[in-house]
Structure 1
Amino acid sequence: MVETAPSPFTPGYGKKPAIFGGHGEDLSELRAVFETLDFGENHSVLVSGLRGVGKTSFLTTLQDAAREAGWLVISDDASAGLMSRVMDSTIPTLINEMTPETRARLTKLGIWNISADIEYVDRHRVVKPQLRTDLVALSSAMGADGGILITVDEVSAGKVRLRELSKFALQVSHALEDGAQIMVVFAGVKVSLDALLAEEHTTFLRRSRELEFERLSAPETRRVFVETAGIGGRAIDEEALDKLVSLAQGYPYLVQLAGDYAWRNNSIAPCITLVDATVAHDRAIRAIESRVISRVYGDLSDVDQKFLNAMAEDEDRSKVADIVNRMNVSDAYVQVYKKRLIDSGYVQPAGHGYVQFSLPYLGAYIRRQLAAEARDGGNEGGWGAYPAPDLPA
């Protein structure tokens, strides 16, 4: 059996990359808070960007750094039931993982019922528990030993979820007002975060530090490929590196995916070659279209799709006036969807009166889909000529 060298590339969901591309300065500043408890503007942070640009990996990196510094970490997503999960499951688990000395300090606060073995049993209060009270108590028990990092991923713009998130944010803001040492980080696409900021009780989030995750630059993409491969003890041929950089287009998930495919094609060779990069190219393109591009496009509204379809008629940037003509609607109507798609991160300005796709391969995917529909009559399989008969009365 031939031994293989494990790949240092990490394309799995939320996996921390060996080499983090971009936002290095931001990461360093936030890590410093874990050591110093000097928060500055960093009590609340909003991380925005499309799928696959590294938001979840960034949160994972922050969580690891906070734990290493002795902080408590509460991490969850914005799905229904967030408040109850945090209070009924996450916080009790954190209490049981504390040192006996810290749990003893909690016991004196009288908020939780802790057994003789200094283990969490249940709540001991006559009034309904509140998250703010829990957070303040945990922070008091930690003292100068650390703070609390709260990360909430996958913020969405659904009304029910936003109402729950705004209540969650209100509890965190009250805990901050009461002196709790907390850093809270919300992550999602920009339109969803903007919708959260428009909710009641989220005033303190409007003063958050904002980090917008976009594509990496070409030099930064090269650096991530080279240094990640180097961690695994391998080099990358120049031709192979050029092909991989061109393939990834600065999209962090694609960097990790393509690097992993190239690595695994011949993992015992000292160098990643052009052959490896070519294999990675074919596999990564198929994977990114099925796992990301098709889902992104499918999640959009009909009008959003029509806007992007109109853009896809151009190979490069699109003139907004041409989009107006192709959609056969007013300029004002197009401007509304243009702003929405820019805020969502799918489209970016490309000069006065022009836009272009910001998500790699989205335009090519749409062109291929439209061409396929044109060939087979709109994917209805020819059934338009054979309508189903009415059911008998």
Structure 2
Amino acid sequence: MDPILNPYAPGAGSPPPELAGRDEVRAKMRLCIERLRRGKPAKSMMLVGLRGVGKTVLLDQMMKDAEGSGVVTIRIEAPEGRSLPAVLAPQLRIGLLKLSRMEQAKDVAIRGLRALAGFVGKMKLTFNDVEVGLDYEPEPGLADNGDLEGDLTMLLEQVGAAAHAAGTLVAIFIDELQYVPEKQLAALTSALHRCAQLQLPLVVVGAGLPQLRGRMGEAKSYSERLFDFPIIGPLDATDAADAIVKPAHDEGVGVDNEAVNLIIGFTKGYPYFLQEWGKHAWDVAASSPITRQDVETASVEAVAALDESFFRVRFDRLTPAEKKYLRAMAELGAGPHRSGDIAAKLGRESSSLGPLRSSLIAKGMIWSPTHGDTAFTVPLFDEFMKRIIPTADWDPTEA
């Protein structure tokens, strides 16, 4: 079939043609926004889930939903190696400039820009990576004390006050939040807590790997009372079928039930993998409908594509010792696994592997569902590890 018309969209953060199975969490966000806009209490939200479940896509759709209701939105990604102030401050400037163009909020928003100038001046000295164009001189004593928690609280108070004066709400969307250091997470949580106490119309919607919930709790003990933590997981059979069938149907192409069921079986319902299998099944099929045979043929190419992109990009960031640890996990199966079992597979003591395990957690490759357990953050990574390091080439005792 014509590849130009192929509707499926495998890619990092690429929106699928059919965002199936996420209506409930989107509705919950809309309710939160409308309550805050009316001065009523509502929790901010943290989307947590494994790689490939569509957290980024959902975060971006929720941002579009918010913008459609007149909300001022800010969108950042928290990359490794940069501070939260470095990525947040430029976007806060843009948001405050938008608010300053609204006559009823102009003066309050300008004071927010003065707070931002003071905040940036101090944070430059602390983090050495904050570069923001400034529009106003700082106001002495306003968000310029050099304490991240206190200064960020003052700054977000001013942002929330400007939104209130404008009769709107500011929503801050943050992806990959698990990479933010604990002290900075604590500062963000504390600032948001204060805005909630003052009933200011400001909300944070974050997304991150499953360890984010625990990290938020470690940063501030009251985090679970301040945020909802919806778990974004694989789609159930009905929603997964919709994600495959509806895009094809919109292009006038059918998909046999057997083909759909086989795709769901291969992908375990993970949205990214559904898009990958859908794309290759479409390209393989000669005509409508897409059949089971098409899917079986396409699976070879789908797995190869995942190995070269989705999986390989993560594998290549690993040290030889880290690869060895993950290969031992894979030998045990999909997981989660007891840390002692992994150590035994490697012929080591668990205590000696602590730094290695911590490094893999910091890189977002594994997480701990419960104390002493270890699991992959990337679905189907155990199968990939066995393909990339076949049993014949793997010696767990090799230095």
**Which sections of structure 1, spanning at least 5 residues, go unmatched?**
115-119, 385-393
Map residues 1-393 of structure 1 onto 2, 5 A cutoff.
Answer: 6-37=5-36, 42-79=42-79, 80-87=82-89, 89-97=90-98, 103-109=102-108, 111=111, 122-123=135-136, 125-127=138-140, 128-129=142-143, 130-143=154-167, 146-157=168-179, 161-199=181-219, 202-207=220-225, 208-265=227-284, 269-274=287-292, 276-297=294-315, 306=324, 308-313=326-331, 323=342, 325-329=344-348, 359-371=378-390, 374=393
Alpha carbons of structure 1 residues 39 and 273: separation in structure 2 relative to 1, 3 Å = farther
Q: Find the aligned partners of 2:13 and 2:69 in 1 and give their Cα distance.
A: 21
Alpha carbons of structure 1 residues 290 and 138: separation in structure 2 relative to 1, 3 Å = farther
Tell me by how many angstroms 1:254 deviates.
0.8
Q: Find the aligned partners of 1:113 and 1:304 in 2 and give their Cα distance.
A: 45
Q: Find the aligned partners of 2:341 and 2:88 in 1 and give their Cα distance.
A: 50
Is the 2:285–2:291 contact (alpha carbons within 8 Å) kept by the matching residues of 1?
no
Is the 1:218–1:249 contact (alpha carbons within 8 Å) kept by the matching residues of 2?
no
Q: Find the aligned partners of 1:17 and 1:362 in 2 and give their Cα distance.
A: 22
The residue type paired with residue 284 of structure 1 is A
Tell me by how many angstroms 1:56 deviates.
0.6
Q: Find the aligned partners of 2:275 and 2:314 in 1 and give their Cα distance.
A: 19
Q: Find the aligned partners of 2:298 and 2:334 in 1 and give their Cα distance.
A: 25
Tell me by how many angstroms 1:372 deviates.
6.8
Tell me by how many angstroms 1:8 deviates.
3.1
TM (norm. structure 2) is: 0.72
CA deviation string 1:109-137 (max 9, x = no partner):
351689xxxxx982254224542243223
More strand by share: 1
CA deviation string 1:281-315 (max 9, x = no partner):
22221122232334445556877655543343356
The residue type paired with residue 136 of structure 1 is G
3-state DSSP of counterpart to 1:156: helix
Is the 1:44–1:205 contact (alpha carbons within 8 Å) kept by the matching residues of 2?
no
Q: Find the aligned partners of 2:368 and 2:65 in 1 and give their Cα distance.
A: 33
> For the aligned residues, what is the CA RMSD?
4.4
Q: Find the aligned partners of 2:85 and 2:75 in 1 and give their Cα distance.
A: 12
Is the 1:20–1:224 contact (alpha carbons within 8 Å) kept by the matching residues of 2?
yes
TM (norm. structure 1) is: 0.73
Q: Find the aligned partners of 2:316 and 2:41 in 1 and give their Cα distance.
A: 37
Alpha carbons of structure 1 residues 194 and 90: separation in structure 2 relative to 1, 3 Å = same
Alpha carbons of structure 1 residues 107 and 28: separation in structure 2 relative to 1, 3 Å = closer
Tell me by how many angstroms 1:46 deviates.
1.8
Alpha carbons of structure 1 residues 167 and 98: separation in structure 2 relative to 1, 3 Å = closer
The residue type paired with residue 95 of structure 2 is L
3-state DSSP of counterpart to 2:53: coil
Identity of aligned residues (%): 22
CA deviation string 1:163-215 (max 9, x = no partner):
3343333333333333211221222112244234323xx34423221122222
CA deviation string 1:78-107 (max 9, x = no partner):
2324324433x323433554695xx21122
Q: Find the aligned partners of 1:169 and 1:316 in 2 and give their Cα distance.
A: 34
Alpha carbons of structure 1 residues 271 and 40: separation in structure 2 relative to 1, 3 Å = farther
Q: Bigger shift: 169-178 or 205-214?
A: 169-178
Tell me by how many angstroms 1:68 deviates.
0.5
3-state DSSP of counterpart to 1:10: coil
Q: Find the aligned partners of 1:234 and 1:253 in 2 and give their Cα distance.
A: 21
Is the 2:51–2:378 contact (alpha carbons within 8 Å) kept by the matching residues of 1?
no
Structure index of larger Rg: 1
